Structure 1
C-alpha cells in the first residue's frame, strides 16, 4: 500500500513539474510599434486586427526570434503609461502619426 502511494505521489510531482516547465517555455511578449502608413494598407490590417495583418505580425515576431504572433491590435497611447512620448517621438506628418499597434509574440 505504501509503495503505490509513493508511486502516485511521484507521478503527481513529475506531472506538476512538466506542466510548470511547459508554461515557462511558452514565453510571450507584447511589442508596441508605431503604426506607419506604408501605402499598402498593412498598417490598417494590423491596427484593425484583420486577417490581412497576420503575415506582417508573424514576420515582425520572427524577426525578433519568436515563433508566432498570437494577437495584434491598435493601442491608444494612453494605454501604455509613460512609455510613448506625447508628441509621437519622431516628427511625422500624415496618416498614421501618433498611432500604435500592439503585437503579441510567442516562442
Structure 2
C-alpha cells in the first residue's frame, strides 16, 4: 500500500514539473484596412511587421507575436465578407493571421 502511495506521489510530482503549455490564439485581420503600408509587412512576413503584430497581441493581453503571415480565404473557417462588386485579382482584400502567445 505504501509503495502505491509513493508511486502516485512521484507521478504527481513529475507531472507538476512538466513545462506548462503556453496559451496561443490566432487573430485574422483584413490586411488592406488602412493606407499606412504596415499591412504589406504583415502579409509578407517581413520583420517590419513584427512591431505591429506584437502591438496587436499586447492589445489582446498576450505577451508577444509568435508568427504572422498572409492567409488564403479558404484557410479561414466561418464567414468572410465579399465585396458587392465581387472579388477579382488585386481588387480582393488579403487577410493576415497573427499568432499570439501568453
TM interval, short-chain normalised: 0.7 to 0.9
Unaligned runs of 5+ in 1: 89-94
Q: 1:42 to 1:35 in 2, by over 3 A?
A: same
Give 1:84 shift.
1.3
Cross-structure match for 1:64: 60
Correspondence for 1:42 among 26, 33, 38: 38
CA contact (8 A) 1:35 1:43 kept: yes
Cross-structure match for 2:13: 14
CA contact (8 A) 2:29 2:97 kept: yes
Q: TM-score, normalised by structure 2?
A: 0.76
Q: CA RMSD in A?
A: 2.6
Counterpart check, 1:102 vs 2:101:
no
Unaligned runs of 5+ in 2: 85-89
Aligned residue for 1:56, secondary structure, equals helix
In 2: Cα distance, 1:59 partner to 1:51 partner:
14
Aligned length: 96
Cross-structure match for 1:54: 50
In 2: Cα distance, 1:35 partner to 1:96 partner:
13
Q: 1:6 to 1:82 in 2, by over 3 A?
A: closer
